Chains A and B, each alone.
Chain A
Amino acid sequence: MNDATVNRLTLFNFWVAFGAFGLACFFGMYQVLERSGLFTFLQSPAAYFASVSTHGVLMAFVLTTFFIMGFGYHTAARSLRRPLWNPPLAWAGYGVCVVGVALAAIPLLLGKASVLYTFYPPIQANVFFYLGATLLVVGSWFWCVIMLVMFAQWKRDRPGETVPLPMFATAANALLWLWTSAGVALESVFQLLPWALGLTDTIDVGLARTLFAWTLHPIVYFWLIPAYIALYCYVPQAAGGKLFSDVLARTAFVLILVLGLPIGFHHLYMDPEQGAGWKFLHMVGTFAVAIPTLLTGFTVIASLEMAGRKRGGAGLFGWIGALPWKNPMVLAAILSLLMLVLGGFGGIVNASYAMNAMVHNTAWVPGHFHLIFAGTVITMYLAVAYKLWPELCGRRLYSVDLALVQLWGWFIGMVIMTTPWHILGLLGQPRRISAVQYNSVLTLSWEPYELAMIAGGSILLASACLFVYLLYKTQTAGEKVDAREDAAADSNHGAPAWLNGFALWNRLILVLMVLSYGYPILQFFLLKTHSPTAWGY
Chain B
Amino acid sequence: MSRLEIDELERKWLSVSLAMIGLFVGAIVVTAVSQGVHPPSHVETIDSASLHLSQEFAEDKLGVQPTPLADGSLQVRLVAGRYGFYPREIEVPAGRRIVFRMASMDVLHGAHIPMTNMSTMIVPGYVSEVVSVFPKPGEYPMLCNEYCGLGHDHMWSKVTVIAQENWREPATGGKQP
Contacts and interface: CB of A to CB of B under 8 A. Distances in A.
Contacts of B65: none
B127 interface: yes
Contacts of B68: none
A334 to B, nearest CB: 19
Nearest to A352: B28
B40 A123 contact: no
Contacts of A528: 45
7 contacts: A205-B126, A245-B7, A270-B119, A360-B110, A430-B143, A432-B152, A440-B156
B141 to A, nearest CB: 4
Interface string A165-196: 00000000000000000000000000000000
A425 to B, nearest CB: 10
B123 A431 contact: no
Nearest to B5: A247
Nearest to B14: A295
B98 interface: no
Interface stretch (A272-280, A309-317, A402-410): A272-280
A469 interface: no
Nearest to B43: A275
B40 A272 contact: yes
Contacts, number: 205
A361 interface: yes
Contacts of A245: 6-7, 10
A531 interface: yes
Given A46-B150, A440-B141, A354 B45 contact: no
The 5 closest A-B pairs by CB, nearest first: A428-B114, A430-B145, A361-B145, A530-B47, A276-B41
Given A354-B31, A358-B119, A496-B4, 12 more contacts: A205-B123, A271-B41, A271-B121, A274-B41, A283-B28, A294-B17, A353-B39, A354-B28, A361-B146, A437-B156, A529-B125, A532-B48
Given A49-B150, A295-B14, A435-B153, A272 B123 contact: yes
A276 to B, nearest CB: 4
Interface string B106-121: 1110101011011111
Interface stretch (A68-76, A92-100, A285-293, A479-487): A285-293
A537 B106 CA distance: 11
Interface of B: 1-2, 4-7, 9-10, 13-14, 17-18, 20-21, 24-25, 28, 31-32, 37-49, 106-108, 110, 112, 114-115, 117-129, 139, 141, 143-154, 156
A530 B48 contact: yes
B53 to A, nearest CB: 13
Nearest to B138: A441
Interface string A522-537: 0100011111110111
Q: Which of B1, B31, B110, B119 has the most CB of A within 10 A?
A: B119
A37 to B, nearest CB: 10
A502 B165 CA distance: 65
A45 B128 contact: no
Contacts of A122: 106-108, 124
B13 A279 contact: no
Contacts of B1: 494-496
Given A123-B107, A535-B106, A291 B39 contact: no
Contact of B153 (A362, A431, A433, A535): A433
User: Interface extent on A, as a size class?
Assistant: 35 or more
Contacts of A114: 150
Contacts of B151: 45
Interface string A80-123: 00000000000000000000000000000000001010001011
Contacts of A531: 125
Interface in A478-537: 494-496, 523, 527-533, 535-537
Nearest to B118: A357
A354 B32 contact: yes
Given A302-B9, A357-B119, A362-B145, A273 B38 contact: no
Contacts of A320: none
Interface in A447-472: none
Contacts of B39: 269-270, 276, 279, 353-354, 356-357
A434 interface: yes
Nearest to A356: B39
A248 B10 contact: yes
B10 A298 contact: yes
A279 B127 CA distance: 17
Nearest to B27: A352
B120 A272 contact: yes
Interface string A253-287: 00000000000000011111111100110011001
Contact of A533 (B49, B110, B119): B49
A39 interface: no
A41 interface: no
A358 B107 contact: no
B129 A438 contact: no
Given A120-B108, A360-B119, A361-B110, A437 B153 contact: yes
A442 interface: yes
A205 B108 contact: yes
A270 B21 contact: no
Contacts of B112: 360-362, 428, 430
B84 to A, nearest CB: 12
Contacts of A164: none
A535 B119 contact: no
Q: Which of B1, B14, B126 has the most CB of A within 10 A?
A: B126
A373 B112 CA distance: 26
A308 interface: no
Contacts of A495: 1
B97 to A, nearest CB: 16
Nearest to B113: A428
A502 to B, nearest CB: 18
A357 B117 contact: yes
